[in-house]
Amino acid sequence: MTNKRASWAVRHRRALPVLGCALVLATLAAGARAQDATIAATPPMGWNSWNHFACKVSDAVVRASADAIASNGMKAAGYVYVNIDDCWQGQRDAQGVIQPNDRFPDMKALGDYIHSKGLKFGIYSSPGPKTCASYAGSYMHEDQDAMQYAAWGVDYLKYDWCSASRVYKPDQIQEVYKKMHEALVKTGRPIVLSMCEYGLKGVWNWGASVGGNLWRTTNDIWDNYASMYFNASSQVGIEQFAGPGHWNDPDMLEVGNGRMNHDEYITHMSLWCILAAPLLAGNDLAKMTPETLAILTNPEVVAVDQDPKGVEGHRVWQGGPYEVWAKPLADGSVAALLMNRGEDAEKITVSLKDIGLGSSATVRDLWARKDLGSFTGSFTSSVPRHGAVLVKVH
């Protein structure tokens, strides 16, 4: 599957030279309506079909994923969105209304099924004529598509730039996203708007002003440590643009897809939680191991991501391949991440001052769910190769 995605992406990136453009700061769109902070008040959690299934997604895959979330503890841990990514689209009918392809016999019934499990339904489109995988996009059909999604019971739209660069100039990107935001608002149904344009035009500066609830900040994640770390570290310097209702999105999770080891997936999940990133599992939920499920659902780790204060954490110290990241939490404590990109286990020290705390503090290990005691001045822990230790410091 990963190879398929890779070869597809090579074609896709060739077709989208704009992805390589330098990011430019843009001014806020005058008069744009801010996004609705009552949706996505904390970073959205759920599942998305792309990272594992790519275009092999079907009604059966989506139902099996909904079944898994509802029964395996993920729903209780906060995962609620069941999101179909690219490749669901069929033809438009004589009136221009988008229809699903034959892998999705009845979208309304699928939405009803997802809702019957107490979950929410997500879908995918592009502002361009074609999606990234060359299915029908929403170009010139924005209102019609939003109405159709609402009729199907959709709660979340990922709107992926893709071929929009063929029909719009780069500086039209804000109005293009605003147009879909307004189309969604007109339906009267609260629908999360997930902007996917890979960080073009410094989207973090204006994404909220055009109605985005989250926006991708980078190109696609791949199931390897270097890609995962690249996407996470690309958030450095843009933390202040995230908050309740509007989040930086370093892309979906690869936890459980098999090409990183346990410690690397622990680092992946820890970083995403420190970053207040959307937590969209991207693995095959019907077939995952207990280890994968435990990484996705550790309640104390997920609570860092979902903390109501809604502050994106940041890197507070770096020495060679050793790093400390910190995220202030609503109860006055701080989540601290000690991570080791080196090739051997190493002791890493967090200075309490560096993470904004006083001279002494109590420390709890969130992965082990164990209190570690009181510390003065600093806290030190051994961290495995490519691993991470996530603690709550009070």
Site residues (vs ligand GLA, CB under 6 A):
12, 50, 85-86, 131-133, 160, 196, 220
Residue labelled with tokens 């073009």: 200
> 69 or 133, CB closer to ligand GLA?
133
**CA 129, chain centre distance (Å):** 24
Torsion sign (Cα): 195, 201, 203, 206: negative
> 86 or 239, CB closer to ligand GLA?
86
We find the least distance from the C-beta atom of residue 223 to ligand GLA, in angstroms, to be: 13
Distance CA 82, CA 339 (A): 31
We find the least distance from the C-beta atom of residue 381 to ligand GLA, in angstroms, to be: 34
Q: Which of 59, 86, 220, 284 is catalytic?
A: 220
Q: What is the dihedral angle through the alpha carbons of 240, 311, 366, 117, rounded to the nearest 10 degrees? A: -120
Cα 179 to Cα 28, 119, 148, 176, 203, distances in angstroms? 15, 27, 16, 5, 16
> What Rg value do the Cα atoms of the chain yield, rounded?
21
Distance CA 34, CA 246 (A): 10
Q: Which strand (E) or helix (H) includes residue 167?
A: helix 164-167
Distance CA 272, CA 263 (A): 14
> 227 or 297, CB closer to ligand GLA?
227
> 220 or 305, CB closer to ligand GLA?
220
Contact assessment for residue 136 and residue 92, using Cβ atoms and an 8 Å cutoff = yes
Q: Which of 85, 160, 249, 284 is catalytic?
A: 160
> 12 or 115, CB closer to ligand GLA?
12
Distance CA 335, CA 355 (A): 9
> 40 or 132, CB closer to ligand GLA?
132
> 36 or 160, CB closer to ligand GLA?
160
Residue 263 designated active-site: no
Contact assessment for residue 53 and residue 198, using Cβ atoms and an 8 Å cutoff = no
Neighbour count for residue 112 (Cβ, 10 Å):
13
We find the least distance from the C-beta atom of residue 122 to ligand GLA, in angstroms, to be: 12
> 9 or 238, CB closer to ligand GLA?
9
The two three-digit tokens of residue 92, written as one number: 């438009």
We find the least distance from the C-beta atom of residue 126 to ligand GLA, in angstroms, to be: 8
Residue type, 100: P
We find the least distance from the C-beta atom of residue 377 to ligand GLA, in angstroms, to be: 43
We find the least distance from the C-beta atom of residue 326 to ligand GLA, in angstroms, to be: 29
Helices (H), 306-377: none
Residue 331 designated active-site: no
Neighbour count for residue 27 (Cβ, 10 Å):
9
CB < 8 Å & 24+ apart, contacts of 142-146: 142/179, 142/180, 142/183, 143/183, 143/186, 144/96, 144/97, 144/98, 145/98, 145/183, 146/180, 146/183, 146/184, 146/186, 146/187, 146/191
Give a three-class secondary structure readout of 206-258. Answer: CCHHHCCCEEECCCCCCCCHHHHHHHHHCCCCCHHHCECCEEEECCCCCCCCC
Catalytic center residues:
160, 220
